[in-house]
């Protein structure tokens, strides 16, 4: 069974599109995908992903800012059932900060190139088509990478991922391991 969002998107593709849009500094599209996750009942996951993005894709200590926004979100929703959560403004603010932040994939490069040395492994090749819905915004092609079924179907590898995502960082902060990509 594939998880779907409120507007019929495949959950994993929305998650991928959100992170890739943040890497590219596209606040409007990143915000759309983040709020699609939140509106679909995946708010807790959205926050986990935003915190991961802050560590994986952004330079500096931005994770503290995202964590503070998450804490504010939790305070606003204290005692409310998940279906009554509000405060999506905190998610919007986190997305904007992440999009405007200097980008560096040093943390991810450290674990993959320096420690694991696993770049280039070809994952499984399975895919699932996106179901169209009412207010359809297409998943951008860059979201289909080795982390999504459709990307694997298209033959996307981890090497493709590292190359494309490094080239897409906006604004770009030169990193310690750029020569490994």
- Give me the domains of the chain, ranges plus CATH numbers: 11-180 (1.20.272.10)
Q: Are 57 and 105 in contact (CB under 8 A)?
A: yes
CA angle, 26 as apex, 175 and 90 as ends, to 5°?
Answer: 95
Give the pLDDT of residue 163. Answer: 93
Q: Does residue 68 have a pLDDT over 80? A: yes
100-117 pLDDT tens trace:
999 999 998 888 776 666
Tokens matching residue 101: 């932040």
CA distances from 11 to 40, 84, 103 (A): 9, 21, 25
- Is the pLDDT score of 6 beyond 50? yes
SS3 63: helix
State if pTM tops 0.75. Answer: no
pLDDT value of position 173: 84
- What 3-state class would DSSP assign to 103? strand
Beta bridge partners of 103: 58, 172
Determine the Cα–Cα distance for residues 127 and 150; give it in Å rounded to an integer. Answer: 4
pLDDT at 133 over 50: no
Residue-level pLDDT at 178: 87
Query: Do residues 57 and 73 touch, judged by C-beta distance below 8 A?
Result: no
Cross-strand pairs, 58: 103
- Of 162, 152, 103, which Cα lies nearest the Cα of 125? 152
What integer is the mean pLDDT of 57-81? 95
Does the pLDDT of residue 124 top 70, yes or no?
A: no
- pLDDT, residue 117, reads 61
């Amino acid at each position: 069974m594939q998880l779907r969002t409120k507007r019929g998107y495949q959950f994993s593709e929305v998650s991928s599109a959100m992170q890739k849009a943040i890497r590219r500094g596209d606040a409007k599209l990143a915000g759309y995908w983040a709020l699609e996750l939140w509106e679909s009942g995946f708010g807790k996951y959205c926050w986990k992903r935003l915190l991961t993005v802050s560590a994986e894709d952004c330079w500096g200590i931005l994770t503290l800012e995202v964590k503070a926004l998450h804490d504010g979100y939790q305070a606003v929703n204290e005692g409310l059932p998940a279906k009554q959560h509000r405060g999506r403004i905190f998610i919007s603010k986190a997305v904007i900060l992440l999009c405007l932040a200097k980008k560096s994939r040093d943390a991810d490069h450290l674990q993959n190139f320096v420690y694991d040395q696993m770049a280039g492994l070809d994952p499984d090749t399975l895919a699932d088509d996106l179901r169209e819905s009412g207010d359809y915004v297409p998943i951008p092609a860059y979201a289909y990478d080795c982390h999504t079924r459709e990307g694997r179907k298209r033959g996307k590898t981890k090497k493709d991922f590292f190359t494309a995502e490094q080239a897409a960082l906006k604004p770009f902060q030169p990193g310690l391991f750029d020569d490994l990509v």
